[in-house]
A and B are shown apart, each in its own frame.
Chain A
């Protein structure tokens, strides 16, 4: 009765060719978001091209970094020994996301491309420029505790829900993509976009492009990294604010620092203002705090999200403090 088709391609190339040749075709990973979106009538694919059986399910060490196949399950990435030693922020972000069952199903590629949990996006009875361009943003004046405080537009205040993406942003990950016109590499930081006046576009991927792998470059300072997720339940809830931090100290001085925020914007928010302020300066509580405040200075919270500004400042400050105080543990 359903009009949806299903295909298992034999190769990555065949998958891309099939989607390119079939109007309405989409890639299917773990299905943990897509199946729900189809059921809700938000996604209306004609064909599901299952990419979970393609040979892109391996994690390989490469030049001090990692090459992670897009079909690797979240659980396997979190458990990977190299990830836990060299990039603990990544493992932590994954295990703070979703539930054990969902992590067993969800793929790396699918996680990055999951769609917002904005209540107005999910409700086909509500206006939403992301779901139906031109209908307006129901969330702007509506119930919006989960909404964006950075980089939002009058057209959309949705946030990206992935934890994994926030950790990858702090690690300067590169995303490998194969499309109808060939392969290309896009920085994770450039994969997701701000809503502007085209909020129906979550990413910069061209139609038919498939995420095939994520590459994490060598980053020794990431051995001292941490993910902190602040949410409404002790477990199994989306982030109100999340923070990924890597910190490199030289005595009391910040030699290097990387911070990304989740739950605050339409994309993982790399805190470049904060990083510039702190680098080369003292690793003191006051410096942490004022740098975090500077990062959030441009925040434009809505009616229900004013609390997120202070929460983000305090959470960033606390994680920096914690990483500093853990000192020699790294």
Chain B
């Protein structure tokens, strides 16, 4: 039995020790917005936020979520109430098939928090909080999220537009 916060609610679910968070979300809790593209931490499609940090739910065991707060794409926005970043993905055509998209969006939200927290990257190893992340910075920090359709330009444009608007507030 494991209990954790999920998209603002508390859930308790029976799991096996080696069940991944991704499998539990998808098959036990019915949240299929989290996708499995490789099941080995190489594609980023399964990215979710745990305690507001982006992680790979295929490599995280569900039991390790005990007491944590998990946000999946279903908790980011809904078809009726899109998150502003989701809106920017639509505007900038930041996807084609859509399979990697929930991972890209969760990853981008986590990434922007990391920039705000002054966490460095290989592009800017001395970065403090950046007022407006550059394209290079976004590309480097988002490189754990593969898009085989090649919608990278649109994704970067969407993230930049969202980050700029957030900071303008």
Contact = CB atoms under 8 A, between A and B. Distances in A.
Direct A–B contact present (CB less than 8 angstroms): yes
Interface of A: 1-2, 4-6, 8, 28, 30-32, 35-36, 38-40, 48, 50, 52, 75, 78-79, 84, 88, 91-92, 95-96, 98-102, 104-105, 233-236
A39 B40 contact: yes
Interface string B90-101: 000000000000
B55 to A, nearest CB: 5
A324 B144 CA distance: 33
B94 to A, nearest CB: 18
30 contacts: A4-B16, A6-B17, A6-B63, A31-B61, A31-B64, A32-B56, A32-B59, A35-B59, A48-B17, A79-B118, A79-B120, A84-B125, A92-B125, A99-B144, A100-B54, A100-B107, A100-B110, A100-B111, A100-B141, A100-B142, A101-B41, A101-B107, A101-B110, A102-B59, A102-B144, A105-B55, A233-B143, A234-B139, A235-B143, A236-B144
Contacts of A236: 143-144
A78 B119 contact: yes
Given A100-B107, A101-B47, A31 B60 contact: yes
Contact of A84 (B19, B20, B120): B120
Contact of B61 (A35, A75, A101, A104): A35
Contact of A95 (B44, B54, B111, B121): B121
Interface of B: 16-20, 39-41, 44, 47, 53-56, 59-61, 63-64, 66, 107, 110-111, 114, 117-122, 125-126, 139-145
B56 A100 contact: no
Q: Helix, strand, loop or mixed for chain B's interface?
A: loop
A6 B145 CA distance: 30
Contacts, number: 109
A196 to B, nearest CB: 30
A35 B145 CA distance: 19
A235 B54 contact: no
A48 B61 contact: yes
Given A31-B59, A84-B120, A236-B143, A100 B64 contact: no
Given A95-B120, A95-B125, A101-B107, 10 more contacts: A4-B17, A8-B66, A39-B39, A79-B118, A79-B120, A98-B144, A100-B54, A100-B144, A105-B55, A105-B56
Contacts of A79: 117-120
B59 A105 contact: yes
B104 to A, nearest CB: 12
A2 B56 contact: no
Given A88-B125, A104-B55, A236-B144, A78 B16 contact: no
A66 B105 CA distance: 36
Contacts of A98: 144
A99 B120 contact: no
Contacts of A28: 61, 64
Contacts of A105: 55-56, 59-60
Given A36-B59, A105-B56, A235-B140, A50 B64 contact: yes
Contacts of A39: 39-40
A38 B54 contact: no
Given A35-B59, A35-B61, A235-B140, A99 B122 contact: no
Contact of B44 (A4, A96, A101, A104): A101
A88 B16 CA distance: 41
